Amino acid sequence: MKLVKINAIWCGSCISMKNILKEVEKMYDFEAINYDYDFDEEEVKKYNVGNILPVTILLDDNDNEIERIIGEKSKEEIISIFNKYK
């Protein structure tokens, strides 16, 4: 399982989610890739990210998208989503 995390340094929700995701990721064996919305434009375009940040995309072992988390979520919501795929 792989996580693609798309954030921006100017995004308040991204900062909040960064800490939550860092804490929750320790509970799972997911590879994580981080992209900055402004600096990694080519990579971000591949994922068709809209106007709401942060975006966390869960990919299966073949890099197929299986879930997309958009915006700020609670730690409990993230755990619930991740539990479906562990």
CATH of the domain at 15: 3.40.30.10
Residue 81 placed within a domain: no
Residue 11 placed within a domain: yes
49 and 6 Cβ atoms separated by less than 8 Å: yes
pLDDT at 86 over 80: no
Residue 44 placed within a domain: yes
Residue 45 placed within a domain: yes
Give pLDDT, residue 8. 96
Q: What percent of the chain has pLDDT over 70?
A: 100
Q: List the domain range (segments joined by +) for residue 25.
A: 2-75
The two tokens of residue 47 are: 């994922």
- Tell me which residue has tokens 């990721």: 25
Report pLDDT digits (tens) over 14-51.
999 999 999 998 898 889 999 999 999 999 999 999 88
Give pLDDT, residue 64. 95
pTM of structure: 0.91
Bigger pLDDT: 50 vs 68 = 68
Question: Which strands, in side-by-side order, build the sheet including 31-36?
Answer: 31-36, 2-7, 55-59, 65-70
